[in-house]
A and B are shown apart, each in its own frame.
Chain A
Amino acid sequence: MTGAYAVRDSATMLRRNLLHLRRYPGLSLFPLLMPVVFLLLFVYVFGGTLGNGLEVGGGRDAYVEFVTPGMLMFAIAGAANIVAISVAMDMTKGIIARFKTMRIWRPSVLAGHVLGNLVLTALSLVVLMAVALAIGYRPTAGLVEWLAVVGLLLLVAIALTWLAVALGLLAKSVETASNTPMFLFLLPFLGSGFVPTESMPAGLRWFADNQPFTPITDTLRDLLGHEHVGGAGIAAIAWCLAIAAASFAWARYLYDRRPAR
């Protein structure tokens, strides 16, 4: 069975993907810079007004506290978009046919993309958090809460990355692959990422309250703000596990089915 080689082959493929990130930096710069630009835009352009809506006289300071957890989700979605493109590009290459004729753990090609993207996502989140702290974000989380934040972010990144890998495999062209994961960018907006869902009209609010990004963002916000995490925490983990498992199975199916060129 090739399953015995799962770890070894995935590590080999991770090395391949890390070399790709280094040799082709154009694609990796986007998820590193874009969330920072959006953070600055939202805090300095909209933040004054939006912050006053959160609490009277809250202004920019209140808004940076509110928006940073949402922006973390936005950053993860941005990196996921990149992995969909790189998977779609990879699938047009002859080397995939070679991998498919080798006795290796079959999903290792995809696992390499996922692991490589997790490294990129981690970098992007560190940069984003550093900028947020520099412009006045003051999380009050303790050590355990920080560990929980890191754990949850990792779980979210794994789930969204596998989903994006499946979308990249599904795409018939690289152009399509760069468009299909766009809805992931929208979900933080159509949830509790940028404004409280209570401020939305009824129909939209129902959607916002019930889509996966909302419990995840709320949990991050509670952990970072040193508040009690309620049922949202369980919903967040359940959503992540469900998306990860379904996407992994879907990606494997698509990879097997897709003819190699």
Chain B
Amino acid sequence: MRCAPRASSPDRAAPTSAAITAVGVRKAFGDNVVLDGIDLTVAEGSVFALLGPNGSGKTTTVNILATLLAADAGEVRVAGHDVAREADAVRDAIGLTGQFSAVDDLLTGRENLRLMADLQHLARPDAEERIVELLARFELADAADRTVSTYSGGMRRRLDLAMTLIGDPQIIFLDEPTTGLDPRSRRTMWQIVRGLVSDGTTVFLTTQYLEEADQLADRVAILDGGRLVAQGAPAELKERVPGGHIELVFADRGAHDAAAGILQATARDEESLALQVATDGNVATVRHVLRELDQAGVEVESLSIHTPDLDDVFLALTGRPATSDPEPEVGSA
């Protein structure tokens, strides 16, 4: 099984106020239309993933929401303030960890955090306490007094995020937070993001990894060619796409043949002695399949359930597979 879908989407069940709303956002650079009318709403305390291939406009969207770039048209409110007219109030509420490492290479980890604390106008004793706490939380305490140029990619990302968090922002933008990280660092990053959400922070992240959106997000919006082609909870999006199945693997050829005679297999693999049976993913179907095999005395070596993943969704919605970036390592085996 590739991944466990998150439970229901809490923002639908109990509507809370919106941390981010964008209506009709357009942006062009010269003749190149990058965003062609984007509407989105992000509920307070939720994780929103903007998913799309390279060049689909993800970073442009983040830059507009984070007051770095002015939209050509449309209205954007972040933390209740208009990004164009009340940029300072928006800046007070947000933190950005951009795609390009936003740390100072010539400073140490501690000095970077102190720089941020001072720019957030925190009182010194409080700031020092917070710096020590963040260094410990992000496993940077040992490297705190080394210049950042000596840090690994994962350490830089963690410091980057710690710098974003020092002012306790209500809303955090993470632009491709795990691009280029090894699987272990990626897993650490996911845990950190989950920790933020449990503290009540709203997280807006962009990713090209379908797996990542599936793992972290309450809601996913798929951006393709400057337009949002779909929006919803990962489970909802996957419901739109057929293709769920159970895969059964047998110990020997005899059992494999016998099972193929009993079940209506949709796919059969002679080499791995596997059969695939189409299913809508509900338990009754699985139980029925197993009972039939049991009655015929056929032993099953292993069974796995495959729900459609966002890969399938992306293909179905855009008519082409998502970008060919290396897939992040999959959560469960």
A26 to chain B, nearest CB (A): 12
**Beyond A97-B100, A97-B102, is A104–B119 a contact (Cβ under 8 Å)?**
yes
**Beyond A9-B119, A23-B147, is A97–B107 a contact (Cβ under 8 Å)?**
no
The proximity string for B residues 81-99 relative to A, scoring 1 for CB distances below 8 Å and 0 otherwise, is: 0000000100110111011
Assembly CA distance A30 to B102 (angstroms): 28
Interface size class of B (residues with CB under 8 A): 20 to 34
Assembly CA distance A99 to B121 (angstroms): 13
**Beyond A12-B118, A16-B115, A100-B68, is A95–B91 a contact (Cβ under 8 Å)?**
no
Question: Is A103 in contact with B92, judged by CB distance below 8 angstroms?
Answer: yes
**Beyond A9-B119, A94-B101, is A102–B91 a contact (Cβ under 8 Å)?**
yes
Residue A231 CB within 8 A of the other chain: no
A24 CB contacts on chain B under 8 angstroms: 106
Contact for B100 among A8, A15, A94, A103, CB less than 8 A: A94
Question: Is A101 in contact with B91, judged by CB distance below 8 angstroms?
Answer: yes
Interface of B (DSSP majority class): loop
A63 to chain B, nearest CB (A): 41
The proximity string for A residues 90-113 relative to B, scoring 1 for CB distances below 8 Å and 0 otherwise, is: 000111011111111000000000
The proximity string for A residues 225-261 relative to B, scoring 1 for CB distances below 8 Å and 0 otherwise, is: 0000000000000000000000000000000000111
Contact for B102 among A1, A16, A98, CB less than 8 A: A98
Question: Is B115 in contact with A2, judged by CB distance below 8 angstroms?
Answer: no
A18 to chain B, nearest CB (A): 11
Question: Is B101 in contact with A101, judged by CB distance below 8 angstroms?
Answer: no
A260 CB contacts on chain B under 8 angstroms: 63, 68
A150 CB contacts on chain B under 8 angstroms: none
Question: Is B106 in contact with A101, judged by CB distance below 8 angstroms?
Answer: no
Assembly CA distance A93 to B148 (angstroms): 14
Closest A residue by C-beta to B93: A103
A97 CB contacts on chain B under 8 angstroms: 63, 68, 96, 98, 100, 102
A259 CB contacts on chain B under 8 angstroms: 68-69
19 A-B residue pairs with Cβ-Cβ distance under 8 Å, sorted by A, are A2-B88, A12-B118, A12-B119, A16-B104, A16-B107, A23-B106, A23-B107, A94-B98, A95-B103, A97-B102, A98-B96, A98-B163, A98-B164, A101-B66, A101-B94, A102-B119, A102-B167, A259-B68, A259-B69
Q: A residues near B, CB below 8 A?
A: 1-2, 5, 8-9, 12, 15-16, 19-20, 23-24, 93-95, 97-104, 259-261
Q: B residues near A, CB below 8 A?
A: 63, 66-69, 88, 91-92, 94-96, 98-107, 111, 115, 118-121, 147, 163-164, 167
